[in-house]
Amino acid sequence: MSQPEPASPWWKGAAVYQIYPRSFADSNGDGIGDLPGITARLDHVARLGVDAIWLSPFFTSPMVDFGYDVADYCDVDPMFGTLADFDALVARAHALGLKVVIDQVYAHTSDRHAWFAESRATRTNDKADWYVWADPKPDGTPPSNWQSVFGGPAWTWDARRRQYYMHQFLKEQPQLNCHNPAVQDALLAASRFWLERGVDGFRLDALNHAMFDPKLRDNPAATDAGPRTRPFDFQRRTHSQDHPGVVPFVERIAALCAGYGAVFTVAEVGGPRVMPLMKVYTAGNERLSSAYSFDFLYAKALNPALVAKTQRAWPGAPGEGWPSWAFENHDAPRSVSRWCAPGDIPAFARLATALLCCLRGNVFLYQGQELALEQDEIPFALLQDPEAIANWPLTLSRDGVRTPIPWDAAAPHGGFTTGTPWLPLSAANITRAVAAQEADAESQLHFTRAMLALRKAHPALRLGTFADCRTKGDLLAFDRVHDGETLRCAFNLGTKPVAHAAPAGAVLLAVNGADAAHLPPYGARIVKARIEKA
């Protein structure tokens, strides 16, 4: 008698909803979203049919980079609430059947962190080498030519130690020396703190930035033809990131999480050549659960070639990790503003949601994506994003995707706050408020729920292989196959009708007027194939 297959962990094939706490729901009228606000609105998330929420940072921070500059890994910033508020959020999420995933930022801290205050004080204290310090060159210039992501050298002079300290992002985000086992121990202790409070997973921010060449060798010049909007873009980051020493650290993270059961770990790995890193960070059973792909987040167009390329890169070979896909997040512009004309947003949003839910891997939805929110234009005077301010106007502001969620179009500021919101909501997005879409059976909100329910109902979409991918012009077709079930998926990613005959079987989904012979503009169809017996 054959043994039944072991159950897949909860996270495999899961749909995860990203919450940016500042912009989700404000409970106290100060214009900034908070943990009690999230808790009060979790019913909305649960009704979508997702499996988990991912919370962007809510830790103690001076908010120079809006929480990604952590000053205390084990506490909640007062603007978001208290540890008791976090515990209440976890309890409510679990009661609704939602897992809770939180960010962990291992590459750097805030310069206000107590560790950095001690490290910069002298060259001989207990934390002297917890950060990356180096003497200047003989002429006083920085130790290497490394450039920071947000502009300018990746080194800042500190008069206390009479040395430079490294920072791959803002100067207020000093680089942790993750080569140091004591630093790793401290970071893992912080993660254990949250595991003990009931979190179900971690999204590991900028993980490939966590280590660097200890010899501090100069980076070579970039040779690609990519755009150059920052000094950072002029280099191949051969020595300043992507160090192989991250892999043993990954295994330590995985070992810690394994002790708490099916904890989900997903790596953010950014850069132009990240596929090998994504594969190595997730290989086998002793590393991370998944890697978070950037393939779609900054793509200028959604086309069949891009989808085919990304899916073929993860064929499911023995020992291969598990991918995660997102079309939007807190750093990347709204997909409907990048990939379609304004008048096509309703139709395109349905198509994009259907496609995302048919990809092999985990699905990440960013807050407001279920409402088809568009990218807001924030005038320079109201910008909050330090990267956009520093590189204006060449860098697209991240603020435009971070504007608050509109809950009720009839309420001031879309029902997000009774005060003045930290970023303004546009009139166009306020019309897409949750309450209005609840009342419209044809809305993007209802379609998103239906699509997530379809994905959950069919293991072929959550766990199946990706097979027989075909592309022709704007037509994309592929199969998802699992345990005797074959779903045949077809998408027209263009604005002109495409002739495409439906295969034999039951039609599970027809998007934007798709019929048995045609896919209209932004049309899609999913058919459960009828397999003829021999």
CB 231 within 8 A of CB 152: yes
Q: Which amino acid is at 219?
A: N
Among 112, 167, 113, 176, which residue's Cα sits nearest to residue 143?
Answer: 167
**What's phi and psi for 374, nearest 5 deg?**
-100, 165
Length of the chain: 534
CATH 2.60.40.1180 fits 465-529, yes or no: yes
Residue in 65, 103, 200, 205 annotated catalytic: 205
CB 71 within 8 A of CB 116: no
To the query of whether residue 532 is one of the catalytic residues in this protein, the response is no
**Non-local CB neighbours of 476 within 8 Å, separated by 6+ positions:** 304, 307, 308, 355, 469, 470, 490, 491, 492, 493
CATH code: domain 15-109+181-453 is 3.20.20.80
> What's the predicted TM-score (pTM) here?
0.96
d(CA 500, CA 490): 8
CA dihedral 448, 451, 456, 460 (to 10 degrees): -140
DSSP state of 261: S
Q: What is the pLDDT along the chain (534 residues), one digit of tens a residue?
A: 344 445 789 999 999 999 999 999 999 999 999 999 999 999 999 999 999 999 999 999 999 999 999 999 999 999 999 999 999 999 999 999 999 999 999 999 999 999 999 999 999 999 999 999 999 999 999 999 999 998 899 999 999 999 999 999 999 999 999 999 999 999 999 999 999 999 999 999 999 999 999 999 999 999 887 778 888 999 999 999 999 999 999 999 999 999 999 999 999 998 877 899 999 999 999 999 999 889 999 999 999 999 999 999 999 999 999 999 999 999 999 999 999 999 999 999 999 999 999 999 999 999 999 999 999 999 888 888 888 887 777 667 899 999 999 999 999 999 999 999 999 999 999 999 999 999 999 999 999 999 999 999 999 999 999 999 999 999 999 999 999 999 999 999 999 999 999 999 999 999 999 999 999 999 999 999 976 554
Query: What's the angle, vertex CA 267, arms to CA 264 and CA 268, rounded to 5?
Result: 135
CB 76 within 8 A of CB 84: no
Parallel, antiparallel, or unpaired for β 264-268 and 290-292? parallel
CB 402 within 8 A of CB 20: yes
Among 93, 111, 233, which residue's Cα sits nearest to residue 176?
Answer: 111
**What's phi and psi for 178, nearest 5 deg?**
-75, 0
SS3 134: strand
How do the domains of the chain map onto residue ranges? Answer: 15-109+181-453, 465-529
d(CA 364, CA 50): 9
To the query of whether residue 126 is one of the catalytic residues in this protein, the response is no
Half-sphere CA count of 150, side-chain side, radius 13 A: 19
**Non-local CB neighbours of 424 within 8 Å, separated by 6+ positions:** 376, 378, 382, 403
Among 49, 286, 93, 323, which residue's Cα sits nearest to residue 200?
Answer: 93
CA distances for 169 relative to 25, 186, 351, 384, 390, angstroms: 28, 21, 36, 16, 12
Residue in 69, 158, 242, 268 annotated catalytic: 268
